[in-house]
Amino acid sequence: GQQLNQSPQSMFIQEGEDVSMNCTSSSIFNTWLWYKQDPGEGPVLLIALYKAGELTSNGRLTAQFGITRKDSFLNISASIPSDVGIYFCAGGSNYKLTFGKGTLLTVNP
């Protein structure tokens, strides 16, 4: 099935560093969402974006909905050990989400 191109696949960073990840697609989406998933659990919604160009923050997280509606990025500032996990982007259209393959984030204390 259709999937988004999410990069990077994995990141190893030091505590306190900033992180950036992004997603691109050949299709236009009405909504862009970012989720975090811990082992054995379901994805937890971090940020939802609804308009092209929209920039939204949630604490140390900032995400943007690309102007073309075909891409989005997520930034995490001043990372902490509990940021460890897999981050997924998802494009939404008509009650269906299309997911990227995820970015595995490891934070070294």
Residues 70-89, mask of contacts with another protein (x by CB under 8 A)? ------------------x-
Nearer to another protein among residue 79 and residue 88 (C-beta) = 88
Footprint of another protein on residues 38-67 (CB under 8 A)?
A: 40-45, 48, 50
Distances (CA, A) of 40 to 18, 61, 97, 104: 26, 23, 20, 15
Nearer to another protein among residue 42 and residue 109 (C-beta) = 42
State the DSSP string of 32-96.
EEEEEE-TTS--EEEEEE-STT-EEEETTEEEEE-TTSSEEEEEE-S--GGG-EEEEEEEEETTE
C-alpha dihedral, 58 to 12 to 88 to 23, nearest 10°:
90
Position among 34, 46, 73, 102 found at the interface with another protein (CB under 8 A): 102
Supply the minimum distance, in Å, between the C-beta of residue 14 and another protein.
28
95 binds another protein (CB under 8 A): yes
Compute the residue count for the chain. Answer: 109
The footprint of another protein (CB under 8 A) covers: 1, 3, 30-31, 33, 35, 40-45, 48, 50, 88, 90, 92-102
